[in-house]
Structure 1
């Protein structure tokens, strides 16, 4: 088919689920023969966009500087502007109007309805990544249901797969084989960071129930300092640190492979499950618990506790209830985890995700009758 020229817009490219989705989407679209650009302020993952074969249009401030790159964007000849989440959509709609291009917005997470009432930058068609997000915006103050298209994330199963050797990372961290490890892997922002705090609240009780336990916090975000302080308080008086603040890493798949159990949400939960790791879904909308073949589709509709309404609020007692049996008998949950990994490899590839978005772009580029 003919080459499409697609401009993605996202404020940051720091480590996070949306940012991971964007560089994978770019890679998938480039592999299908399309030209892709990204307008962004940049961040740790900006190099991934370039590696994917996309063009980076970097500005110091998305809201304040986008007009400065209009000649550059116009020269490329983009055909559609695709903004991701609400902040970027405020720029994306105006940018598309300046370039006289179709405009598309994707929603990646829930938004309070009062804020939706004040939002004026919806696209004619809005893409959501879960049924939970669809329900969140499908109301008279948001978007009518017939304007909403449902898609989902794709996982790079060449990178995230069962069988990754955890030994080098275990040696780096000074851990011995058989050490029970809970890895919280997330962006440390707002309600996602609350999951880390709840896990740290539970850590002393978990360590009493599971000798030798280590809790690792992998990620970055505005709540990093708060989580680091909490981890330090948990470790007071202990001969060995129970909780360790790891920070941002580019090799999260190795932490997923190392973990006895991972605690994640959204895209990161899919990555962890793709590695064959028993994964507890807990995120900004609450606590779902261990993802298994029987509840996988239910979890997907909630984007694994990132969208919609999760079964219960996140609290320390959730982890105290669910984690001890998984940590005491780590082999028991592995067969189901491997089954989930196989489901993800079959259904949620990057190529399928890119093909689905290609169909949406073609739909939006078709002339519509008035």
Structure 2
């Protein structure tokens, strides 16, 4: 089988990458062929080193036509059997490729979002969710039709790698209890970071000099995060490892007395026999124990929830207090967590199940194939590029390069600090000069519509509007 996996990401590493990596390695070991469509960079290089093919694309607007040409050429050389897409831009490209080439297509949903699923599920052969809670969300709040297509295939840690091993604690720990935070330090993880700050502040007051915080992760918020932790930690110490993978990540788990982490990282820590506070970008499950383990499994360890609205104040403090009671308590919780992983997250069983779904999807599609769709039917493939230029502090020029632009209509919404402040209706011109009325961060939402009523929309890059002094001078000059 030749599997095509389009995956879109902003951060260079994270749980999404590990999910894809696990699938790729499983398929390659079983002598299947895999091609990953992703941004150039460390992850793409790692995929090549593992033996997977890579089609590099930045998923920018205007890049779909070039990526599709590479996918078509690959399909002619080595026929693709199935497209397994991941969300957002990758899902859009994957579905286009599948419809143009006449291939079955499946999608994995990693979190609490819809990504146009109610509208597109009819063109999909299966949808995999990484927890039962995400499936429940899609069917209830998301009102996704065809529930029979939604299958739960959870993240699973590699138990051969993530197991208990003896490693020395960090040099900076000085005999203290090591508690690790394992997560990306990016804006989409803000809820995790906010709850962690509460834990650090509580420990500074309740356990001064007794805890060493080990932070495993990196991201755009690193500087602000480190500054905040420094202000809160008191007499407790802290160290930063950056993002880790493989054995060094396992060792970081194993040198910890406990871990605070979301999703897949929670599972990896538990697989190592380390007690874990499950804290995801959407919710707080807390210290995984006999009372809440089923809820944690259901939500993919914090992947479903209402963030602060669903958080009970004082929860992380109480869980930290429990961890600090005794080494025996931590060992008991660690053993229980490992038992949960072994029962519910067997990697071999889950990957065999995924491969079984792949084979079923391919066989079913052969019996009832959908008609192939011409590339000209997809506006994404007619868009060749977006050119944006700030002519002056208070004026922005946007131009779309499109194939057969004379057949299309274009509309523009101006957003300031995320809010729409002006709507410029459809017209035949694929370009527009737009005034920026005062200070703020601006983006343009561009719409393209063809004669059949098909349309696509996307956001232009963000620019800064005129500052107060510039804005005042423009107004007085007028």
TM-score by length of 1: 0.86
1:229 to 224, 227, 230: 227
1:182 maps to 179
Query: Which structure shows the higher strand fraction?
Result: 2
CA offset digits 1:305-340 (Å, max 9, x no partner): 113568973477322121023124132121231233
Cα pair 2:8 2:87 within 8 Å, conserved: no
1:106 maps to 108
| C-alpha spacing 1:44/1:207, structure 2 compared with 1 (3 Å) | farther
The number of equivalent residue pairs is 357
2:280 maps to 283
Q: What secondary structure, in the 3-state scheme, does the structure 1 residue paired with 2:314 have?
A: helix
| C-alpha spacing 1:350/1:49, structure 2 compared with 1 (3 Å) | farther
Matched, 1:170 2:170: yes
Matched, 1:299 2:303: no
Q: What secondary structure, in the 3-state scheme, does the structure 2 residue paired with 1:156 have?
A: coil
| C-alpha spacing 1:228/1:145, structure 2 compared with 1 (3 Å) | same
1:14 to 12, 25, 39: 12
1:247 maps to 242
Separation in 1, partners of 2:304, 2:41: 25
Q: What secondary structure, in the 3-state scheme, does the structure 2 residue paired with 1:331 have?
A: helix
CA offset digits 1:57-95 (Å, max 9, x no partner): 222436524224224422222111110123310111112
Aligned-pair Cα RMSD in Å: 2.8
Q: What secondary structure, in the 3-state scheme, does the structure 2 residue paired with 1:227 have?
A: helix
Q: What secondary structure, in the 3-state scheme, does the structure 2 residue paired with 1:289 have?
A: strand
2:402 maps to none
Name the larger-Rg structure. 2
Residue pairs, 1:340-359, within 5 angstroms: 340-345=337-342, 347-359=344-356
1:38 maps to 36
| C-alpha spacing 1:310/1:152, structure 2 compared with 1 (3 Å) | farther
2:329 maps to 332
CA offset digits 1:327-356 (Å, max 9, x no partner): 241321212312331442455233222211
CA offset digits 1:190-237 (Å, max 9, x no partner): 3423212221233132122223212222212343343233223325xx
1:73 maps to 74
Structure 2: 5+ residue stretches without partners: 370-478
Separation in 2, partners of 1:252, 1:196: 20
1:123 maps to 124
CA offset digits 1:148-194 (Å, max 9, x no partner): 112112211121111x2231x513xx322x31122110123334232
Q: What secondary structure, in the 3-state scheme, does the structure 2 residue paired with 1:214 have?
A: strand
Q: What secondary structure, in the 3-state scheme, does the structure 2 residue paired with 1:215 have?
A: strand
Structure 1: 5+ residue stretches without partners: none
| C-alpha spacing 1:201/1:242, structure 2 compared with 1 (3 Å) | farther
Cα pair 1:302 1:310 within 8 Å, conserved: no
| C-alpha spacing 1:248/1:334, structure 2 compared with 1 (3 Å) | same
Higher RCO structure, 1 or 2 (CA under 8 Å, sep 6+): 1
